[in-house]
Amino acid sequence: MNDLADVKKVPADELKAMVGRSFVSRWLTVDQERIDAFAKVTEDEQFIHVDPARASATAFGGTVAHGFLTLSLLSAMAYSALPRIEGAVHGVNYGFDKVRFIHPVRSGSRVRGHFTLAAATLRSAREWQLSYEVSVEIEGVQKPALAAIWLTMQVMGG
């Protein structure tokens, strides 16, 4: 699946030919320390995320990551999986057309991203909009943590 995993950079004029290609990220651990830090910074300290004793009495059986924490890890996953575009000076997170949180990520789980380039559109002489179909796999769990359509913008040098 990771047919370009070893490619560090690809020419921009090859982006359209890459539509349909899939890439898989490295594994990331979602431990309680990461969940607690996310809870603090987002001020979402609901007990199912930060109180292992209380959370163990729920259907989750323990603490779970915030859906937005899992979503936020897409950037780190993308850095480890997606090739860079020659001539790009920076990328921009452009948003999501769709996000669904499908399965909870329990504290201590490992997750990784699966990215399929769905579209590459030249918006101007300096901007490429890329659309990825994304899912986040939880190690040992059949259902993904989330599924999304993620839009990014690559800004080319002048």
Residue 52 lies in a domain: no
Q: What is the CATH number of the domain that holds 102?
A: 3.10.129.10
The position carrying tokens 């009495």 is 57
3-state SS class at 18: helix
Chain mean pLDDT for the chain = 93
Residue 46 lies in a domain: no
Q: Which residues of 98-134 are buried (b: 16+ CB within 10 A; e: fewer)?
A: eeebebbbbbebebbbbbebbebeeeeeeebbbbbbb
pTM for the model stands at: 0.91
Name the residue range of residue 19's domain.
9-29+65-156
Residue 112 lies in a domain: yes
Residue 148 lies in a domain: yes
CA distance 35 to 53: 15
Residue 147 lies in a domain: yes
Residue 90 lies in a domain: yes
Residue-wise pLDDT for 109-124, tens only, equals 999 999 999 999 999 9
Residue 25 lies in a domain: yes
Residue-wise pLDDT for 15-62, tens only, equals 999 999 999 999 999 999 999 999 999 999 999 999 999 999 999 999
Q: State residue 5's pLDDT score.
A: 46
Give the count of domains, the chain: 1
Residue-wise pLDDT for 71-126, tens only, equals 999 999 999 999 889 999 999 999 999 999 999 999 999 999 999 999 999 999 99
